A and B are shown apart, each in its own frame.
Chain A
Amino acid sequence: MNELAITVIGRDRPGIVADVAEVLARLGANLTDSTMTRLRGHFAMTLICTGPAAAEVEAALAPLAAEGQLLATVREVTPDGQVPPAGEPYVMAVHGSDRMGIVAAMTRVLVDAGGNVTDLSTRLAGSLYVVLAEVELPAGVAGTLVDRLDRTAAELGVEVTLRPADPDLL
């Protein structure tokens, strides 16, 4: 069965999700993991689907894109890629005055400590810039990583916190 990575982005309007999901359902494309969110007035969808061939999905989404309001891409991906070993889950929160390079610098510190970012979102509200990242860290590195994050954040003039996000199993 084909596994497809699909992105759809366009000016936000009511009905984008329903329109795209209907096209996929009609083709028998099974929507598995996805994230869909509004980014500064644009609606962005990133989806993994299983089912039909990429060309078939692309052709079916073309009428939506033809109005010039949506940009859709479809490509076949390899199912179940290599998953890195699980680490300890943490959330990194960064906020401060917007400037170039905050995400680049802070995520580089995470990577250099062996961390793996699994989810990240940013928001710019006026001059306030906010980064929230889910990150898996190798056991025992969080303590020293906090110092490195603090140093980098100070250079950037932003605040950073790193907190455990381990779930309570009930």
Chain B
Amino acid sequence: MTGEQSGAYVGLGGWTPESLPVEGELRAVVSAPNPVLSRAGGVVDPTSEETVRLAADLVATMRVSPGCVGLAAPQIGVDAQVFAVDVTGHPKAVTVHGTFVLCNARVVEATRWKPGREGCMSVPDLTGDVKRASRLVVEGDLPGSGTSVRLVTDGFEARALQHEIDHCAGLLFLDRVAGAHAVYQRKVYL
């Protein structure tokens, strides 16, 4: 399923990471308390060579990381508003847009909030209960073409998008946990 068309915004329009003109390189994933994870990322030019390379690196690194369904630029040490997501095949996913990268993304509609337990590659030893919208509309720009897109999604993909958009704003799931007893030692590693 692809996002609905609305105004100047369109869905992914068949965008795939293979359309990026560069080969992604594997980057080291940083962990909290690295300060880059707590800094709001800057707005990027989605058409710049630097952003395109960053997008390719995010996809490449996400793909080799076991169980990883999303990776944001701050997680590879870059304070920029760029992230990759791919929830394909995840048992909790309903709407799936495949692998994509968004720049300068923002949530424009968020409804049907539901609690869920989250973990993060950058906080490897803890998990936490976080409420996220299960119906979500997000707008952002595709790397390379710079096309503005609007994605309508739900369920697990919506949760992943909110988690990654938070990373781009310098927020971790720890900033949103439900209460003093809602953080847990992580016991199972992929």
Interface residues, chain A, CB within 8 Å of chain B? 35, 37, 86-89, 118-119, 121, 134, 136, 165-170
Contacts of B190 in A (CB 8 A): 169
State the main secondary structure of chain B at its contact with A: mixed
Which residue in chain A gives the minimum CB-CB distance to B185? A118
How many Å lie between the Cα of A169 and that of B70 in the bound state? 9
Does the CB pair A86–B188 fall under 8 Å? yes
Please tell me which one of the listed residues A87, A89, A118, A170 contacts residue B159 in the complex, with CB atoms under 8 A apart.
A170
Does the CB pair B92–A167 fall under 8 Å? no
How many Å lie between the Cα of A37 and that of B119 in the bound state? 25
Contacts of A118 in B (CB 8 A): 185
Nearest CB of A to B157, in Å:
11
Does the CB pair A168–B181 fall under 8 Å? no
Please tell me which one of the listed residues A87, A167, A170 contacts residue B186 in the complex, with CB atoms under 8 A apart.
A167
Interface residues, chain B, CB within 8 Å of chain A? 67-70, 92, 116-121, 127, 156, 159-160, 163-164, 173, 180-181, 184-188, 190
Contacts of B121 in A (CB 8 A): 169-170
Please tell me which one of the listed residues B68, B70, B117, B164 contacts residue A167 in the complex, with CB atoms under 8 A apart.
B117
Please tell me which one of the listed residues B116, B180, B185, B186 contacts residue A168 in the complex, with CB atoms under 8 A apart.
B116
State the main secondary structure of chain A at its contact with B: strand
- The verdict on A170 contacting B187 (CB below 8 Å), with A35-B181, A119-B181, A121-B181 known, is no
Please tell me which one of the listed residues B68, B117, B159 contacts residue A166 in the complex, with CB atoms under 8 A apart.
B117
How many Å lie between the Cα of A169 and that of B117 in the bound state? 9
Does the CB pair B160–A170 fall under 8 Å? yes
How many Å lie between the Cα of A121 and that of B179 in the bound state? 14
Contacts of A86 in B (CB 8 A): 187-188
Nearest CB of A to B128, in Å:
8
Does the CB pair A168–B188 fall under 8 Å? no
How many Å lie between the Cα of A170 and that of B68 in the bound state? 6
Would you list the 4 A-B pairs with minimal beta carbon distance, nearest first?
A86-B187, A167-B127, A167-B117, A167-B119
Contacts of B156 in A (CB 8 A): 168
Please tell me which one of the listed residues B119, B180, B184, B188 contacts residue A170 in the complex, with CB atoms under 8 A apart.
B119
Does the CB pair A89–B188 fall under 8 Å? yes
Does the CB pair B159–A168 fall under 8 Å? yes
Does the CB pair A169–B120 fall under 8 Å? yes
Contacts of A167 in B (CB 8 A): 117-119, 127, 184, 186
Contacts of B70 in A (CB 8 A): 170
How many Å lie between the Cα of A86 and that of B186 in the bound state? 9
- The verdict on A165 contacting B163 (CB below 8 Å), with A86-B187, A89-B188 known, is no
How many Å lie between the Cα of A145 and that of B116 in the bound state? 23
How many Å lie between the Cα of A169 and that of B65 in the bound state? 11
* Complex A-B: 16 CB contacts under 8 Å: A37-B180, A87-B187, A88-B188, A119-B184, A121-B181, A166-B188, A167-B117, A167-B118, A168-B92, A168-B116, A169-B120, A170-B70, A170-B119, A170-B163, A170-B164, A170-B173
Contacts of B120 in A (CB 8 A): 169-170
Which residue in chain B gives the minimum CB-CB distance to A136? B187
Which residue in chain B gives the minimum CB-CB distance to A169? B119
With a 10 A CB-CB cut-off, give which of B92, B187, B188 has the most chain A CB atoms.
B187
With a 10 A CB-CB cut-off, give which of B67, B121, B127 has the most chain A CB atoms.
B127
Which residue in chain B gives the minimum CB-CB distance to A36? B180
Contacts of B185 in A (CB 8 A): 118
Which residue in chain B gives the minimum CB-CB distance to A134? B184
